[in-house]
Each structure stands twice: as C-alpha cells, then as structure tokens.
Amino acid sequence: MDISGKRAVVTGAAVGTGRAIATRLAAEGAEVALVDIDDDAGRQAAGALTRARYEHVDLLDDHALARLLDEARPDILVNNAGGGAVLRPCFPDADAARWSASLDLNLRAPMLATQLVLDHMRQADGGAVVNVGSTAGRGLGPHASPEYSASKAGLIRFTATLAPLRETHRVRVNCVVPDWVATERGIAEREALPLEDRGPEQIPLRTLTDAVVRLIEDDSLAGRVILLERERPPELLDL
C-alpha cells in the first residue's frame, strides 16, 4: 500500500507512541486523524502537522467510536491507544470494574475498531490495520499487571487469527510488539531508576514507526507480528 494520499486514523495519538506514529504517517503523505481524550495535547499534536486533525473520542464509548470511523472512513487504522501497565492496584487487588476497564481499552476497543472499518475497507478495495501490542503479552512469566499483559497477549493472538481477511476483505491486520519505548515519559521513567535497574536502552521511536510503516506498505504481510526488543534488531515472527 502506498501511504501517500490515504486516510489514516491513529488512536491514542496525543502523546508518546501515538503522536510519533501519526507524525510519521503525515510525513509519508497521509491525511491523519489523531484520536485521543487529551484535548490540549491532541490539538497541539495535530496543529504541528499538515493534513491532520484532532478528534476527541473516548474509545470506551462504542457509539462515539462508531461515529468517528463511519465519518473518517480510513484506509489505515492504527490501534495504538492503551495503557495501564503501571497503574496500581492490579488484579487480584483491583476491583472488577478497574481491571475490566483495562481489558476494554487494550483489547476490546481495538477489536471493535477493527470490526467497524472492515466493510468500508472492503468497499474501498483494501485497507491496513496495525495493532500496537507489548512484550508484556509474550512469554509465560509473571507480570505486575495481569490484566494488561493478558490484554496484550490477546491482541497479538487476535491479530494472527485475522490473516484470512486479506483474501475475504482485502484488509491486512498486523501487529507491532515493542518493548519499552523511548517516549518522553518512558525516558523520564527510566532515568528515575537507579543505574543498576535501568537495563538496556529503550526502543527508539523511529524503530517503532519504521515497523508500523512496513506493516502498512508490505502487501504480503497479514496476521503477522514485528517484535521490537531492546538490544536486538526488529524480528518478523513466524506465527
């Protein structure tokens, strides 16, 4: 897919990884809708780009999400919004409403958004969806936030199951799975740690946006995952 001239929606795009992805897609020539609930940061991010606009949408509001996608009719959807890995308390100490909200934001919302764009993308003769996962969703070890890691594991598996959509809908759904990314907040959090606890350097934002662009542009990729681990080159996983 040629990104130039396409319509893109990026969720969680006011700051951090979402803003970096939106900025990169705009630089590649896409018309980008930056979706978030942080109005000040969202408007500032969109205002710094050409052919971009900010949309206030709470992804836990099904009707608002459906209205957005029906109006935007994107050729490219990046399900980046998420979070909660550092919020405490977590399961089992958190109440059901709190850990359910994490599942809804990190898994249900991207599932619904993907479902909502399928018909339009099929009518438009194709589209690309990129889900932003996390290495918290890989492996079998413990994690401080079980609900977050479970939702990201589900997002990875969800992506892999949708490979057939390339044939049935001409829609390719893929996932980028980064380790700790060097956003402004990520850098500050790492620098606040003792030196012995910081670990390897974080994933550069450019490495993340390169992976997203690859998953959009490469028409041979469907239901695939690009793993971004610290101190290792990007890896296209065989699922």
Positions annotated as catalytic residues are: 148
End-to-end CA distance of the chain: 22
Dihedral (CA of 134, 137, 142, 145) sign = positive
Q: Measure the CA–CA gap between 236 and 227, rounded to whole angstroms.
A: 6
Q: Residue 32 has which token pair?
A: 């980008």
Reference 171, options 209, 208, 221; nearest CA is: 221
Q: Which value, in Å, is the radius of gyration of the alpha carbons in the chain?
A: 17
Q: Measure the CA–CA gap between 68 and 138, rounded to whole angstroms.
A: 31
